[in-house]
Amino acid sequence: MSHQALTTLSEDEQAFQEAIRDFAENQIKPLVQEMDKNAQMDKGMLKQLFEMGIMGIETPEEYGGTGSSFTVACLVVEELARVDASVSVLVDVQNTLVTNAFLRWGTEDQKKKYLSLMATEKVGAYALSESVSGSDAFALQLKAEDKGDKYVLNGHKLWITNGNEADIFLVFANIAPEKGYKGITAFIVEREHKGFSVGNKEDKLGIRASSTCELIFENCEIPKENVIGEVGKGYKIAIETLNEGRIGIGAQMLGIAQGAYEAALGYTKTREQFGKAICTNQGVQFQLAEMRTSIEAARLMVYNAARLKDNGQDFIKEAAMAKLYASQVAEKVSSTAVDLYGGNGFSKEYPVEKFYRDAKIGGIYEGTSNMQLQTIAKMELS
């Protein structure tokens, strides 16, 4: 079923979107329930994602990537989330955060090495959060010491998406704590680096197959050439990548809402009460109409923010609005979907309870809803 009536996509974008939709329906959907139950990504999933060319969507072809746009990356994230938000966020972090950082701030040598690996075989992770630095991102305490020919990192990171699957980590540490946020520096950490290990995996409410892990740095040695961007300018990389990543999370929430709506729409056509399908009741029809309208509004906001980003225009406020609204829509639509399923909506035998659980994270990660409101208000008042 097409759901792009009010948006403008090129033929190439539509073709890519259709291919991802088919892949999600045929290859991911049969695995969703088991992956969610086991809180584990299917072992063959990563190979398929790389084969589909969606782990390096914006990566230039010279580095083995697809050479496409940020908008296409968001389309992919949306279509995957329509079926499974866990697979969606793995692809989202790879593309809208880690790859974007390398594209914008990586040296040519770093691009050749890491973009090529991430487009073809290696998963990336973005490591900013710590126990004391969530919304206050720059309160991070991971320390980096300059040892002449290398840096040595000590501390922990928490809530790191793709922690189990990743081999390449974009890690933010402070090289001069006395300078506050101006000491923050971004480092490329490889899984095999001495002194680095992946700790516990969180047992989560939603997006359960997506690994969210602790990272441990115990005298972790990082070569000097693994600084990305300038020393002391990591805060700039963090801010700007998160601004872009929020559009990706908006796309993920949009996909969750779309999946929940489609499930509810189909169910109301087949579920009979009092001798007729429940979709013939005006009260149900009005709920479906509200769901569909809010989804389309969220879609336009997400796509607009992505287009602005691709066109090199200011998009920070629009990104915050898109993430804020799409996460609200995902929660509301998935909740209504559970209501429309009645008692069945509360059962894991049916898909909508998972959409409902997965939707909750949208208002939390990559900037809480309150932080998005703060960004929007500041930009309106400036």
Query: Which amino acid is residue 53, in one-letter code?
Result: G
- Is 107 in the same domain as 210? no
Say which of 34, 121, 366, 380 is annotated catalytic: 366
pLDDT of residue 5: 40
Rounded CA separation 110/114 (Å):
6
**Residue 1 within any structural domain of the chain:** no
**Residue 5 within any structural domain of the chain:** no
3-state SS, residue 199: strand
b/e string for 26-56 if b means 16 or more Cβ within 10 A? ebbeebbeebbeebebbeebbeebbebbbbb
Calculate the dihedral angle through the C-alpha atoms of 11, 74, 31, 114, rounding to the nearest 10 degrees: 110
Query: Which residue ranges in the chain fall short of pLDDT 50?
Result: 1-2, 4-6
Domain end call among 123, 145, 175: 123
Domain end call among 199, 233, 267: 233
- Is 300 in the same domain as 367? yes
Q: How many domains does the chain have?
A: 3
pLDDT of residue 7: 56
3-state SS, residue 322: helix
- Is 98 in the same domain as 33? yes
160: left (phi over 0), alpha (psi -120 to 50) or beta: beta
Domain end call among 205, 233, 261: 233
- Is 362 in the same domain as 264? yes
pTM: 0.96
- Is 146 in the same domain as 117? no
**Residue 319 within any structural domain of the chain:** yes
Q: Is 366 a catalytic residue?
A: yes
**Residue 2 within any structural domain of the chain:** no
- Is 309 in the same domain as 366? yes
**Residue 6 within any structural domain of the chain:** no
pLDDT of residue 349: 96
Domain hosting 79: range is 11-123
Domain of residue 19, CATH code: 1.10.540.10
Q: Residues 111-132: pLDDT tens digits?
A: 999 999 999 999 999 999 999 8
- Is 249 in the same domain as 343? yes
